[in-house]
Amino acid sequence: MKKTFILSCTVLLTLCLAGCKSSDKEPAYKDANLSIEKRVNDLLSRMTLDEKILQLNQYATGPNDNPNNIGEVIRRLPSEIGSLIYRTEDPELRNQLQKVAVEETRLGIPIIFGYDVIHGFRTIFPIPLAQAMSWNPELVKQAASVAAKEAWYSGIDWTFAPMIDVARDGRWGRIAEGYGEDPYTTAVFTEAAVQGFQGEDMSEPEKLAACLKHFAGYGACEGGRDYGYTEISRQTLWDTYLPPYEAGVKAGAATVMSAFTNISGVPATINKYLLTDVLKEKWGHDGFIVSDWGAIGQLLNQGATADSMECAVRAFNAGLEMDMMSDCYGKFLKKALEEKKVSLAQIDESVRRILRVKFRKGLFENPYTPSTTPEERFLLPESKALAQKLAEETIVLLKNENHILPLSSKNIGVIGPMVKDNYDVMGCWTAHGNKADVETIWEGLQKEFEGKANLIYAKGCEIEGDDHTGFSEAMNVARRSEIVLLFLGESRWFTGEDANRSQIALPVIQQELLRKIKETGKPIVLVVSSGRAVELGTVEPLCDAIVEMWHPGTVAGTPIARVLSGAVNPSGKLALTFPFSGGQMPIYYNARPGGRPLQGKYTDIQTAPLYEFGHGLSYTTFTYGELKASATTLNKQDKLTVSVDVTNSGDRDGAEVVHWFIRDPVCSITRPMKELKHFEKQMIKVGETKTFTFDVDLLRDFGFVDENGDRFLEAGEYQIIVKDQVLKVEVK
Ligand code: GLC
């Protein structure tokens, strides 16, 4: 008896000691020497169901500064919440919230703080649409990197960017947020932005987790009306809307945001084909998907579900991991599990994905943001210099009759509602951009033309409205000037979310001002500051030159001033077709040919756009040599290199962008008349010749994709198109 008792005590003591020893040891998930997968699984094994479900939710701190996101902001902020949308521009609140999460909860899982850092945080860069016009992915990457740095020091871990929705209908205000109408262009800038935000390792300081949005086909909403219906075939999904997402996943984007839209009857929020079959199974994305704001709850409005419980079940079963702000997961997922409408294995897999991103972001090792002053965080000289350089490269010279630009006049009228604007020129989605930081167009012009010309200013009119009282002063200024710079454009609220416009011409009051100025007989340089390709068909004949400067951001004045003075030779080219009329929407270059090429035209206006995709003038001229190909007959596994020499035959150094298009005139699935597959930008000095080269991967560049996302290459003729040259090659 006694022996047994002693033996049992000994065993018990040993077990306790072993237990003490293991409880003294840090749990595996806190051991940074272990693999992320080991840490994820260890942590997951320790979590209660409630803790798991909280990770699947994102709430917001404080009031919602996106006026489109209507609805009750969830007030309770449990410390075990998965994510918070963070609206403050300093990290103090974030660190306080994070301290509770990390140091006062059972498992200390850090919160990931997200925000819309779309084209800058405090230093605002040109809108993404403008950035595409630079055809300079390296600069776009640098801009994203600066935005990440400013945001990271302000308490942000995760940006809801890049927005990569291909868009072809300028009535849709969110066209400003993406990189234009072309799938390939958008894919290239997606990669640049993801690399800029995340760097090589997003756990490093000053980096943000990226979020590809809005998955997918959001830009196709009917009539340009946001949140609306999109009729997108599987074929179009694959050949038009998915390529940028595939590029973003390949670039390592940490997360994806599902779109508000209804895709041919199945809202993106519950679209299992997209969220699971494509993103996870076909592309192997192992991060997580966050819904758009309240989108899970909005399934009720879309007629997809009968109640909020069903919203939660259908979104979750489609493969949507995190619920932004609808709280359907928070309220109903546990019940759904009890009713066996979802499984614990699914919940674990979703939580696993969220924890994986948090570990990859380094939040367990570095949950807090270091303290810095605003001066250390924001608007560094090098950041503003980058903003200026990128803005300069986004400016597109659309028309330059008789080389009236660059300016040589001594008395210059500077007229229009955009001239002294420091708010609208930042564009939509300006995060913590502050109008007090903005260098206005007027300030930029004064700096650039000081001692060179006399500038005479008049506002003329507001951006919109019907107050004509400023017209007479504007006409007087025009009469006293040799030439008029007329700065017209759009309010920042004309683009962005839920900014749907039935017509895309300049506001009538601005057009009336232009016509009044025209009456004075002075030459007019129209400079447009807008978030879309506005309709200029009827005003174009009144202008001697037209320049599109987009919404350039914080440094709004110097870039356009330097282009107008000739200090900068404009190199911007259109990544979006400029319509003759808004009535042409949707209009885009890579359209498929019709059965009667000489018919199917508009009977009331021209059918051709005002300015084609790729259009953009320079102050110099570039002469293209013959296209050269390494072969013109190839087998499918062969490589092909094509090149063209470009000479600067003008009198001014300048940068040229060569766009390489292909055409497959006959294919089992009909294809667009031309498709951009490569572009390259080079500076060419006067008299210099540079060679531009395109290394063609036949399957990637000549091949096409079918409705299952499978790429194929058919034998036959293919064309390589540069400017007006067409080089034909045969694939056996
Ligand atoms: C908005 C936008 C989305 C944004 C999110 C958070 O509704 O659609 O782009 O990231 O809410 O602000």
* Secondary structure of 226-293 in HEC code, one letter for each residue: CCCEECCCHHHHHHHHCHHHHHHHHCCCCEEEECCCEECCEEHHHCHHHHHHHHHHHCCCCCEEECCC
Residue 66's pLDDT is 73
Q: Which of 58, 65, 66 to mutate to test the pocket of ligand 1 (most atoms within 8 A of CB)?
A: 66
User: Which amino acid is located at 620 in the chain?
Assistant: T
Ligand 1 centroid to 293 CA: how many Å? Answer: 6
pLDDT for 12 beyond 80: no
Residues 6+ apart with CB under 8 A from 332: 308, 309, 311, 312, 313
pLDDT for 487 beyond 70: yes
Average pLDDT estimate for 220-229: 96
Residue 608 lies in a domain: no
Ligand 1 centroid to 671 CA: how many Å? Answer: 33
Percent of the chain beyond pLDDT 90? 94
pLDDT for 3 beyond 80: no
Q: Is the same domain home to 492 and 511?
A: yes
292 in contact with ligand 1, CB cutoff 6 A: yes
Residue 25's pLDDT is 80
Q: Which of 70, 83, 85, 160 to mutate to test the pocket of ligand 1 (most atoms within 8 A of CB)?
A: 160
Domain's final residue, options 344, 372, 400: 372
Residue nearest to atom 1 of ligand 1 (CA): 293
DSSP string, 585-604: -S--SSPPP-S-TTS---SS
68 in contact with ligand 1, CB cutoff 6 A: yes
Residues 6+ apart with CB under 8 A from 309: 328, 332, 335, 336, 341
Domain that holds residue 55: 29-113+360-372
Q: Is the same domain home to 167 and 109?
A: no
Query: Is the separation of the CB atoms in 142 and 189 below 8 Å?
Result: no
Residue 650 lies in a domain: yes
Sign for the CA dihedral angle at 313, 315, 321, 322 comes to negative
64 in contact with ligand 1, CB cutoff 6 A: no
Percent of the chain beyond pLDDT 70? 96
69 in contact with ligand 1, CB cutoff 6 A: yes
Q: Is the same domain home to 45 and 127?
A: no
For residue 358, what are its two tokens? 């948090």
Instruction: Say which range, 52-66, 213-227, 287-301, has the weakest mean pLDDT.
Output: 52-66
Average pLDDT estimate for 520-542: 98
User: Which amino acid is located at 555 in the chain?
Assistant: V
Ligand 1 centroid to 267 CA: how many Å? Answer: 16
- Burial of 566 by CB count in 10 Å (0-12 exposed, 13-18 middle, 19+ buried)? middle
* Closest by Cα among 285, 307, 280, 281 to 296: 307
Residue 6 lies in a domain: no
Q: Is the same domain home to 205 and 333?
A: yes
pLDDT for 217 beyond 80: yes
pLDDT for 11 beyond 60: no
Residue 10's pLDDT is 52
Q: Is the same domain home to 108 and 118?
A: no
* Closest by Cα among 114, 82, 40 to 348: 40
Ligand 1 centroid to 292 CA: how many Å? Answer: 6
Ligand 1 centroid to 45 CA: how many Å? Answer: 33
Residue 353: CATH number of its domain: 3.20.20.300
pLDDT for 348 beyond 90: yes
Q: Is the same domain home to 400 and 464?
A: yes
Residue 3 lies in a domain: no
Average pLDDT estimate for 259-288: 98
Residue 21's pLDDT is 42
pLDDT for 630 beyond 90: yes
Residue 476: CATH number of its domain: 3.40.50.1700
429 in contact with ligand 1, CB cutoff 6 A: no
Helix (H) or strand (E) holding 188: helix 183-198
Q: Count other Cβ atoms within 10 Å, centred on residue 454.
A: 13
Average pLDDT estimate for 313-334: 98
Closest atom of ligand 1 to CA, residue 260: 8
Q: Is the same domain home to 160 and 205?
A: yes
Closest atom of ligand 1 to CA, residue 68: 7
Q: What is the mean pLDDT of the chain?
A: 95
pLDDT in tens, 14-67: 444 444 444 468 999 999 999 999 999 999 999 999 999 999 999 998 666 677
- What are the two backbone dihedrals, phi and then psi, of residue 436, each rounded to the nearest 5 degrees? -70, -20
Predicted confidence band of residue 4 (pLDDT cuts 50, 70, 90): low
Q: Is the same domain home to 355 and 405?
A: no
Residue 1 lies in a domain: no
Domain's final residue, options 342, 372, 402: 372
Distance CA 58, CA 458 (A): 48
Q: Count other Cβ atoms within 10 Å, centred on residue 482.
A: 15
Residue 232's pLDDT is 98
Annotated catalytic residue: which of 165, 239, 292, 664? 292
Residue 503's pLDDT is 95
292 part of the active site: yes
Ligand 1 centroid to 66 CA: how many Å? Answer: 8
Residue 463 lies in a domain: yes
Residue 1's pLDDT is 47
- Say if strands 639-648 and 622-624 run parallel, antiparallel, or are unpaired: antiparallel
Q: Is the same domain home to 335 and 413?
A: no
pLDDT for 416 beyond 90: yes
Residue nearest to atom 7 of ligand 1 (CA): 293
Closest atom of ligand 1 to CA, residue 69: 7
Residue 628: CATH number of its domain: 2.60.40.10
160 in contact with ligand 1, CB cutoff 6 A: yes
Closest atom of ligand 1 to CA, residue 211: 10
Q: Is the same domain home to 141 and 266?
A: yes
Residue 9's pLDDT is 53
538 in contact with ligand 1, CB cutoff 6 A: no
Ligand 1 centroid to 431 CA: how many Å? Answer: 12
Ligand 1 centroid to 161 CA: how many Å? Answer: 10
Helix (H) or strand (E) holding 545: strand 545-548
Average pLDDT estimate for 557-578: 98
Residue 520 lies in a domain: yes
| Domains of the chain: total | 4
Average pLDDT estimate for 152-157: 98
Predicted confidence band of residue 730 (pLDDT cuts 50, 70, 90): very high
For residue 26, what are its two tokens? 């840090």
Q: Is the same domain home to 314 and 341?
A: yes
Closest atom of ligand 1 to CA, residue 213: 9
Residue 726 lies in a domain: yes
Peptide bond preceding 406: is omega within 30 degrees of 0, i.e. cis?
A: yes
Q: Is the same domain home to 248 and 341?
A: yes
Closest atom of ligand 1 to CA, residue 257: 10
